[in-house]
Amino acid sequence: MAALTEFELIDRFFRRQENDAGNARGIVLGIGDDAALLAPTPGSQLAASVDMLVSGRHFFADVDPEALGHKALAVNLSDMAAMGATPRWALLAGALPDADPQWLAGFARGFFALAKTHGVDLVGGDTTRGPLNLCVTLLGEVPPGKALLRGGALAGDSIWLSGALGDASLALAHQAGRLVLTADEAAVCWNALLRPAPRVALGLKLRGIASAAIDVSDGLVGDLGHVLEASKVGAVLELAAIPRSEALDRQLASSAHDAALRCLLAGGDDYELCFTAAPSRDPSVIALSAELGLELRRVGTITAEPGLIVQDSLGRPLAPLPEAYDHFAA
Ligand code: ADP
Ligand code: MG
């Protein structure tokens, strides 16, 4: 088969009629010109975010392309969720080592399936040959003043987490031989790593309830730390309350306790939401959990005193806390 040209590749895998102008989703001009033209909902603010996934850094080069397509969009959707924004338009910039149709078809399947779920249209991008690297820009909308920021937490607020933390990094710890999962546990943990479910619906419902929010992408300690810093407050967390899977619980009770604790508190790649809300809103959050069919756990309290304390079941602070992942740390 003749090699695909750059434009054939874009046309075949990334340009979809259902994402073109005229679909009533605010696309005046879609893929094909020098820029897309978009018509945001009058009066709304645009939320803009971009995330890059680099081969060998964020994923293994031989990862299932469908999972990669899913994740490239999911990590951006998670940022929209954390802002309480409605995701709308995506741009996809990719460096690809070659134009492998099978790989591209898989990637596009994963990407567009998730895009459809969330009503996101792909309106442009850039395609170049190079070491595998994918960069998605996502634009969303939020009513003025309604975005969920990191800086709004107040002393006395409850701290909440969605879902469960640590499974994604448990998969990596298992692969690295730091602990041993059963085959079933490993399958669940790999799925958490490869196919995170961005909490977009939760983010939208938290408008008007949450005082601050962040998505947990680099581990709870680091990401909650960003909220505390931005809000100029501290926090006390109950270790026992931090939601985790049975697989992680089993590791915590084993000789791999320390590695498992790292996964839970600082593992990263969770894409759950951590948010704060006034304690008077506790019943609203509990009702929301039932409405969305999504576990929401109250894990601690914001304090006026700066600093993050994680307490064990006897009220003793863990020290030291595992550190968050930093791409440039020595
Ligand atoms: P330019 O050279 O003017 O930047 P390109 O030739 O790179 O334009 O791209 C042509 C059109 O295809 C543009 O509308 C661009 O947004 C779109 N495009 C390029 N790559 C992708 C991609 N991977 N996914 C979606 N759209 C893309
Ligand atoms: Mg270009």
Residue 158: per-residue pLDDT: 99
Q: What is the Cα–Cα distance from 309 to 235, expressed in whole angstroms? A: 6
Ligand 1 centroid vs 203 CA: distance in angstroms?
Answer: 31
Place of tokens 């939320």: 47
**Kind and range of the H or E run holding 311:** strand 307-311
Q: Is the pLDDT of residue 326 over 80?
A: no
Burial class of residue 62 in the structure, from the number of CB atoms within 10 Å of its CB (0-12 exposed, 13-18 middle, 19+ buried): exposed
Range of weakest confidence among 98-102, 134-138, 320-324? 320-324
Ligand 2 centroid vs 125 CA: distance in angstroms?
Answer: 7
Q: Is the dihedral of CA 195, 200, 206, 210 positive or negative?
A: positive
| Average pLDDT along the chain | 95
Q: Is the pLDDT of residue 4 over 90?
A: no
Residue among 123, 126, 117, 115 nearest 39 (CA): 123
Q: What is the Cα–Cα distance from 31 to 88, expressed in whole angstroms? A: 15
Averaged pLDDT, 120-132:
96
φ/ψ of residue 132, rounded to 5? -50, 120
Place of tokens 């409605």: 86
Ligand 2 centroid vs 210 CA: distance in angstroms?
Answer: 39
Q: Is the pLDDT of residue 1 over 80?
A: no
Q: Is the peptide bond before 306 cis (omega within 30 degrees of 0)?
A: no
Output b/e per residue, 19-31; b: 16+ Cβ within 10 A: bbbeeebbbebbb
**Kind and range of the H or E run holding 75:** helix 65-83
Residue 206: per-residue pLDDT: 98
Ligand 2 centroid vs 82 CA: distance in angstroms?
Answer: 30
> What's the pLDDT tens digit per position in 13-45?
999 988 888 888 999 999 999 999 999 999 999
How far is the CA of 309 from the CAs of 37, 149, 238, in angstroms?
48, 22, 9
- Please tell me the chain's helix, strand, coil percentages from 3-state DSSP, rounded to the nearest 5: 40, 25, 35
pTM (2 d.p.): 0.95
The confidence band for 320, taking pLDDT boundaries of 50, 70 and 90, is confident
Q: What is the Cα–Cα distance from 68 to 80, expressed in whole angstroms? A: 19
Q: How many CB atoms lie within 10 A of CB 16?
A: 17
Q: Is the pLDDT of residue 330 over 60?
A: no
Contact 276, 296 (CB under 8 A): no
Residue 309: per-residue pLDDT: 97
> What's the pLDDT tens digit per position in 153-195?
999 999 999 999 999 999 999 999 999 999 999 999 999 999 9
Contact 298, 158 (CB under 8 A): yes
**Ion ligand 2: residues, Cβ under 5 Å:** 126
Residue nearest to atom 2 of ligand 1 (CA): 34
Is the CB of residue 326 below 6 angstroms from any atom belonging to ligand 1?
no
Is the CB of residue 126 below 6 angstroms from any atom belonging to ligand 1?
yes
Q: What is the Cα–Cα distance from 264 to 270, expressed in whole angstroms? A: 9
Residue nearest to atom 11 of ligand 1 (CA): 32
Is the CB of residue 31 below 6 angstroms from any atom belonging to ligand 1?
yes
Three-class SS state of 299 = strand
